[in-house]
Amino acid sequence: MRPNELEPARRDPSRRAMLGAGIGAASWVVSAGAAQGKPRRSLQDAAEALPGASAQDTPIASARVRAFEQAAFGLFLHYGLYSELDAGEWAMNRQGIPRARYMELMASFHAREFSGDAIGHAAKRAGMRYATLTSRHHDGFSLYDTRGLSPLDITHTPAGRDLVQDFVVGCRRHGVTPMLYCTTLDWSDERFESDWDAYQEYLRASLRLLCTEYGPIGGFWFDGNWSKPKADWQLDALYGVIREHQPEALIINNTGLSDGGRVGHPEVDSVTFERGRAHALDRGGMAKYVAGEMCHTFNFHWGSAHKDFNSLSPAHVIEELCLARRAGANLLLNVGPTSTGRLPAYERAALERVGDWIALMGGDAGPLYRGVPVGITGEGRDFGLVVDGETLYLFVFDLTPTADTRHGVPARGPGSRSFAGVGGSWGEPRWLDNGEQLAMSRDGERLTIEATAYPYGTNTVVRVVRLATPA
């Protein structure tokens, strides 16, 4: 990931403005509800509602991509030597620390509190279905045994154990699909500047280890090609390693801050929206169906940074997740473990509150996992999703007990909420959280509900209306 200082000037840095089947049965976990009952509608079924797409020219999602879309919410983990400095994952580069001095951190890197089991449990508790760990970041240090490919790995530290192995085992124990982040940029390997072909072979050899030594991996998340946009990254050969050894794994290559939504290579299975607003993809005419994923971090750094107090609230995360799902994209939310490898207390507590909200909205069987964007838009950020073709969910943002007149706050009190593009016949609307029935009127494909205020002691940040088709 690139530090915020390198963001395009056009990007608003304010916190509010930043509001984005694997290998066999063991790789991707799909909810029990998804595997039972009536066939579920997918993004493919909603193709005609998306701009420029039609059922005739929109490709059908593969099983692995479909399962990834239904995973919806994932945990990103940036952990490495930089965690010892507690000043962000780009500390080596941004502080100009010489490589030899930086690598002295290996002598104190014990990672005694790093636990794949704890990570899997926290992700599951938060309602996340997959987790992505930095196997190696841009500093060149690997969290796994490179089997002699590099001296800069976990086996040459006091930790003395393969953290990637610990991670994948712990995630699987809790039904969370493990994925691995792989840097393509390396500040420590001289071949990156002096012998490009040899460096590419090193990347492929490293990837071959990750593909063959850790069992089924849900996907590989590449990052760094943006550092040399005109270089030949030999992607056919790199991705060929995955297709040979882990043919059903997702291939994702982060296009960076300013190029969100670009596919980049035919083997890519999901586009990225790094800390940007995910938008519905126009898949019309695409050679294959790709998913979308917006990655975001809890503050302005990806690795731990103890002087960064600008952290997301649970409410902000809930909004991010809903807005990503509005576009049919996943949210991959980052946490930077502490120097000892422990998940920090604030982020862990915030994720638990998000998990409570997801459970309130139906958990695995709820619209966040099963809902399909169908082009239903409301006032402000409001939108609609359809599940199974027979249940409509309307997401209402910024609802307050009374009108909020503070400058710049988009909150609205109770009253009418209108949604455009609502075809078909729908039954009575009820709040999903308490079952209260709401008044509703129709004018063609414009549906209006009368949103009531939250009950005293309640504010779910985003409130959801459920409408079932008539019997």
Lowest mean pLDDT among 52-56, 96-100, 203-207: 52-56
Mean pLDDT of 303-309: 95
Q: What is the CATH number of the domain that holds 379?
A: 2.60.40.1180
For residue 437, list its beta bridge partners.
430
Asked if residue 397 and residue 290 are part of one domain, the reply reads no
Of 55 and 381, the one with more pLDDT: 381
For residue 429, list its beta bridge partners.
467
Asked if residue 378 and residue 349 are part of one domain, the reply reads no
Asked if residue 377 and residue 347 are part of one domain, the reply reads no
Asked if residue 399 and residue 334 are part of one domain, the reply reads no
pLDDT tier for residue 4 given thresholds of 50, 70 and 90: low
Of 249 and 287, the one with more pLDDT: 249
Mean pLDDT of 262-273: 88
Last residue of a domain, one of 367, 397, 417: 367
The answer, yes or no, to whether residue 252 has pLDDT greater than 80, is: yes
Asked if residue 406 and residue 267 are part of one domain, the reply reads no
User: What pLDDT, on a 0 to 100 scale, did the predictor assign at position 146?
Assistant: 98
The answer, yes or no, to whether residue 364 has pLDDT greater than 60, is: yes
Lowest mean pLDDT among 17-21, 169-173, 298-302: 17-21
Residue of 194, 73, 198 whose CA lies nearest to 132: 73
Last residue of a domain, one of 338, 367, 396: 367
pLDDT tier for residue 47 given thresholds of 50, 70 and 90: very low
Residue of 21, 2, 1 whose CA lies nearest to 249: 21
Contacts of 88 (CB under 8 A, 6+ apart): 3, 82, 94, 301, 302, 303, 304, 305, 308
For residue 331, list its beta bridge partners.
73, 294
The answer, yes or no, to whether residue 268 has pLDDT greater than 80, is: yes
Asked if residue 279 and residue 190 are part of one domain, the reply reads yes
Residue of 64, 66, 20 whose CA lies nearest to 39: 66
Mean pLDDT of 250-274: 83
Last residue of a domain, one of 314, 334, 367: 367
Asked if residue 324 and residue 281 are part of one domain, the reply reads yes
Q: What is the mean pLDDT of the chain?
A: 87
Asked if residue 85 and residue 19 are part of one domain, the reply reads yes
% of residues, the chain, pLDDT over 90: 75
Asked if residue 419 and residue 380 are part of one domain, the reply reads yes
Kindly tell me the number of DSSP H helices and DSSP E strands found in the chain. Answer: 13, 16
Q: Tell me the two tokens of residue 73.
A: 């919410």
pLDDT tier for residue 402 given thresholds of 50, 70 and 90: low
Q: Tell me the two tokens of residue 179.
A: 């994925």
Mean pLDDT of 118-145: 98
User: What pLDDT, on a 0 to 100 scale, did the predictor assign at position 426?
Assistant: 94
At residue 244, what are phi and psi to the nearest 5 degrees? -75, -45
Domain hosting 419: range is 371-468
Mean pLDDT of 171-192: 98
Q: What stretch of H or E contains 396?
A: strand 391-397
Q: What is the CATH number of the domain that holds 202?
A: 3.20.20.80
pLDDT tier for residue 318 given thresholds of 50, 70 and 90: very high
Domain count, the chain: 2
Residues 383 and 395: their CA atoms lie apart, in Å, by: 5
Asked if residue 293 and residue 398 are part of one domain, the reply reads no
Asked if residue 198 and residue 73 are part of one domain, the reply reads yes
17-46 pLDDT, tens digit per residue, is: 322 233 333 466 544 344 333 333 333 344
Contacts of 193 (CB under 8 A, 6+ apart): none
User: What pLDDT, on a 0 to 100 scale, did the predictor assign at position 275?
Assistant: 77
pLDDT tier for residue 413 given thresholds of 50, 70 and 90: confident
Mean pLDDT of 69-89: 97
Mean pLDDT of 339-360: 97
User: What pLDDT, on a 0 to 100 scale, did the predictor assign at position 39?
Assistant: 36
For 45-68, letters b (16+ CB in 10 Å) and e give bbbebbeebeeeebbebbebbbbb
Asked if residue 419 and residue 347 are part of one domain, the reply reads no
Residues 106 and 155: their CA atoms lie apart, in Å, by: 10
